[in-house]
Chain A
Amino acid sequence: MSSVSDTDKTAPSSPSRTTVTKYVVMALLAFLSFGLTGLGAIVVMFALSTLRAGRDSAASHGISSQNSSRLGGLAIVITFVLFLVGMVMLSSYTPGVARDVTFLHLWSTVFVCVILGGAEDIKADLLSPYFRLVVKLLVFGLFLWTTPNVVPSSIGIPGIDYLFSVPLIAWGVCTAFCVGFINAFNMADGANGLIPGVATIAFGLLFLEYGRPAEGVLFFVCLMFLIFNVVSGWFFLGDMGSYGLGAALVCYGLLGVAEGDFSAGFMACLLSYPCVDFVVSVIRRMRKGLSPLWADNGHLHNRLYRFYAQRFESPVTPNSLTGLTISGASSGVCLIIYALGWIPVESNAWFGVFGLQSAVYLITLSRLRSSQMNESEPMSGVSG
């Protein structure tokens, strides 16, 4: 393992006072939330964050101003697999992939997405964007074709429900939606704690709803990553993390909607920020005559970061505040409504909440844009 230095970590043998403070805060939060088990996860993440492979320079990010590692997804995969292996060896746990063909297909799909993202994290531009897009379309198309019980027959919207009554159309729409959602998840991964925060809340809610060990472990892993990411800023999810978590969430979400456990509106509300930001970004780029996949700095998280950066001198605080504000105001609202039991998870009233979230997004984006008075500048080579 080779160590590297960044703006905060000057040398492994003589960490700065800021770095030591970050170690202590991360360790304390991890210990309070998940005890010695949480500390173990933080140690794994710290070790991976010092690897030379998968590092990004500060210049390649729209927000981050320090050198960081993109191997956060690898840390999540390693921690998740360690837990699963431990559960299989130490308890009577039977993984769903060994017992249920739906879960076998589901996790195979997630695995392919993880590999696709991992290749990009290890070596940037190893796979072209169009190749990745085609592979994702193929793998999700195959997954939904071979596992039709994951395709919802209705989602509570009259016109779309009529189309979904034709299985082939339902399959095509769901395949396109899954691929679009993963890209949206990847695109929104632009601030510390944004996507990790959304994923932590989503897996936490899925765990509360089902009580399945897999979601419990994913909730634990995402929370540990969230702590590490928000406090230090040394670690990003990378494509492996955003593809993997996005694929797991969209698959579990579709399965839950198809089985009638919760409404499509609930999932839309829970994952509102990536979805709305993706649609708005695509429209913005097309209006400018750019490719929909072209990266720019016109996202809400970019503009909110600029707002915070004018008020805080620290390189990490505005970044982390941006992510926590957005994940808290989008998925966090869903968590509060769920916890207080205001709206049943099966209700289509969640579509109304999603509409309100979308309106808040547009109003906030508009106000920030007008107050900052500068156009979003295209910047190649930046995710999102």
Chain B
Amino acid sequence: MLWGVSGVSKLSETAISSGFDGSVVSSVNAPGRLILVGFIGSRVASELIRRGERTVIIKDEDRSLANDKINDRKPGDVVN
């Protein structure tokens, strides 16, 4: 199971390093990823990363959080 957590963490790092170009989020059917986290898990991981770009892993620190549902986040935080 920790292997799965590790895999999703690496996917997040890849998404950050690629500048959220969408490649990580859209590659839900990559064979290695399917073996590690399965069909549903792959989509859950993509959703986490996609939401992370918008609300969790904040690249632009000046961006307003007013429209986010969860307040008081700091850059780099992952919400509960």
Chain A residues in the interface with B (C-beta under 8 A): 30-38, 40-41, 44, 79, 82-83, 86-87, 90-97, 99-100, 103, 207-214, 216, 219-220, 223, 259, 261
Contacts and interface: CB of A to CB of B under 8 A. Distances in A.
B79 A96 contact: yes
25 contacts: A30-B38, A31-B38, A33-B38, A33-B41, A34-B41, A35-B4, A35-B34, A35-B36, A36-B35, A37-B4, A37-B7, A37-B38, A37-B41, A87-B78, A96-B80, A99-B74, A209-B69, A210-B79, A211-B47, A212-B70, A214-B80, A216-B44, A220-B41, A259-B69, A261-B69
B66 interface: no
A90 B41 contact: no
Contacts of A93: 78
B18 interface: no
Contacts of A30: 38
Interface of B: 1-9, 12, 34-42, 44, 47-48, 50-52, 55-57, 69-70, 72, 74, 76-80
A288 to B, nearest CB: 44
A38 B79 contact: no
Q: Which DSSP category, helix, strand, loop or mixed, fits chain B's interface? A: helix
Contact of A37 (B37, B69, B80): B37
A30 to B, nearest CB: 8
B4 A211 contact: no
Contact of B1 (A86, A95, A209): A86
Contact of A213 (B4, B50, B76, B80): B80
B6 A90 contact: yes
Contacts, number: 113
Contacts of B80: 95-97, 99-100, 103, 212-214
Nearest to B34: A35
A86 B5 contact: yes
Contacts of A86: 1-2, 5-6
Contacts of B77: 92, 94, 99
B78 A33 contact: no
A112 to B, nearest CB: 18
Query: Most chain-B Cβ atoms within 10 A of its Cβ — which of A95, A209, A216?
Result: A216
A99 B52 CA distance: 17
B79 A37 contact: no
B2 A82 contact: yes
A214 B70 CA distance: 13
Nearest to A252: B80
A87 B3 CA distance: 11
A40 B4 CA distance: 9
B48 A91 contact: no
Contacts of A79: 1
B22 to A, nearest CB: 16
B36 A211 contact: no
Contacts of B39: 32-33
Given A33-B39, A90-B9, A220 B2 contact: no
A223 B51 contact: no
A100 B72 contact: yes
Contacts of B42: 35
A230 to B, nearest CB: 16
Contacts of A34: 4, 37-38, 40-41
Nearest to B8: A91
Given A33-B40, A37-B41, A99-B77, 4 more contacts: A38-B38, A82-B1, A211-B48, A219-B44
Contact of A35 (B35, B51, B70, B79): B35
A216 B76 CA distance: 18
Pick the most buried of B8, B40, B42, B44: most chain A CB atoms within 10 A of its CB: B44
